[in-house]
Amino acid sequence: MSSAPPDGQIVAHAARLLRAGKLVAFPTETVYGLGADADNVEAVGAIFAAKGRPSEHPVIVHVRNIAAAQAWAGAFAPQARALAESFWPGPLTLVVSRAPRAHDAVTGGQSSVGLRCPSHPWARALLDELCRQTGDLARAIAAPSANRFGRISPTRAEHVRADLGEKPDGAVDLIVDGGPCTLGIESAIVDCTGPVPRLLRPGSIERDRIETALGRPLEVPSLEDGDVPRAPGRATRHYSPRRPLEFVNGAHLPARVRELGAKRVAVLASIPRLAEVQWWWVAPESPHEFARQLYDLLHQMDASGADRLLVQRPPAGPAWAALNDRLERAAQPPQDRFGDAD
């Protein structure tokens, strides 16, 4: 089913399904989420089964507002409140200590929980309706991205249909079509459980804006840091198409195309098109527009019939950090990356 602004009947039906322990895919400003009633352990378990997601990976709990978040947080530290007041509703996930309500299925067995207050009209309408139907103003939706674990994130309803499918033949009880996502990149994740906030995943909110809101620098831990909470999107390989993807410096791209054989590759680049390449997509010049289109472009490339996908490395710099992070992980293992940053 499809609708542009939130449709009350569809929202009410989706909320009833969530209350019944069913799975609902719905749009957020970042990507489409695969949602379950966050209080329902069995329903959250169904998310993991549908995605093929390892059980130790936590899922983000989506809440209506700061007051609802506090019902899921053991402590909502001043730094977490400062970020929530600055960026919620919006594309920022805060990792805080968990309250008893945050069970192991959403936390991955950790002492922390990831909370986000989305801004997308459909997501907000669904949260409001779920709270209304249950009479619980802190009712929340547990929702990772609505795709098979490790695969390209969905930014359109058709991506969810193609990957997970809708029942009776697919894994999802209802796919709510709210149109394409407006940002297209998953939320930034900030760990607020320690004395110094840590950026666990970059997103569309740039690091310097987060640091300004905090009034202090963020730490950026490495994957090897043992005391960092497990968080979505930090796996070395993630956001990956089914076809091998190479992350290529623009200056190396023509030679790499010739080496592979032009008819075998699909290319996403900002350099002038190479006439011998059958599948070619032009990379947007703006980092925000590139982010909005990234996953849709990768889905198109993956479905093209090419044997290998080549993506020109975007520029370096804060505005491009989230894009480079996603493409670095999509292009793992490391031997699938060629050249330095442009």
| Alpha-carbon radius of gyration of the chain | 20
Higher-pLDDT residue of 304 and 236 is: 304
Residue-averaged pLDDT of the chain: 93
Banded pLDDT at 206 (limits 50, 70, 90)? very high
In 3D space, the residue among 116, 124, 67, 123 whose CA is nearest the CA of residue 96 turns out to be 116
Classify 309 as helix, strand or coil: strand
Query: How many whole angstroms separate alpha carbon 17 and alpha carbon 126?
Result: 11
Convert the pLDDT of each residue in 24-34 to its tens digit.
999 999 999 99
For 112, what's the count of Cα atoms within 13 Å in the CB-facing half-sphere? 22
Q: Determine the average pLDDT of the residues in 133-160.
A: 98
Q: Beta-strand (E) ranges in 174-304?
A: 174-175, 188-191, 198-201, 245-248, 265-269, 279-282
What the chain holds in terms of domains, given with CATH numbers, is 8-214 (3.90.870.10), 245-338 (3.40.50)
pLDDT above 80 for 45: yes
pTM: 0.93
